[in-house]
Amino acid sequence: MDFPATLMYSKEHEWVRVEGSRAYIGITDFAQDELGDVVYVDLPEVGATLTQGASFGSVESVKTVSELYAPVSGQVVEVNERLADEPELVNSSPYDEGWMIVVEMTRPEELDGLLSKDAYREMIGQA
């Protein structure tokens, strides 16, 4: 499984890539593997306000439906529209084409509470 060192990870299995004041958010390779084949992704609208730790959507797979939790607070400025027609991108490219939302962070200090690649791998038992 792949866990890029350039990303930060939440205990709820979301990843964050920071570009300036914006956070790109998706689910980890581990999470998509556990879910199985993703068939639907429910994401917020552009303009929605997210609070760290609160649900912002869900991922539906052939096995289950799983909530998505905001790793940082902020306003949604972009949504990956491709996932509406190609939810399988979450499985095939979780860190690139399968990203979910971009958030303009209102509390960037929340990033300090996220996990490094090594800490995340340890949490999931793959250290």
- pLDDT reported for residue 101: 98
pTM for the model: 0.95
By the 10 Å C-beta count (0-12 exposed, 13-18 middle, 19+ buried), 70 is classed as buried
Asked: is 8-112 a CATH 1.10.3720.10 domain? The reply is no
Pairing between β-strand 38-42 and β-strand 22-27 as defined by DSSP bridges: unpaired
How does pLDDT run across 49-99, given as a tens digit for each residue?
999 999 999 999 998 999 999 999 999 999 999 999 999 999 999 999 999
- pLDDT reported for residue 11: 96
Confidence grade of residue 109 (pLDDT, cut at 50, 70, 90): very high
For residue 62 the two structure tokens come to 């052939």
Mean pLDDT of 11-33: 97
Helices (H), 36-115: 82-85, 89-92
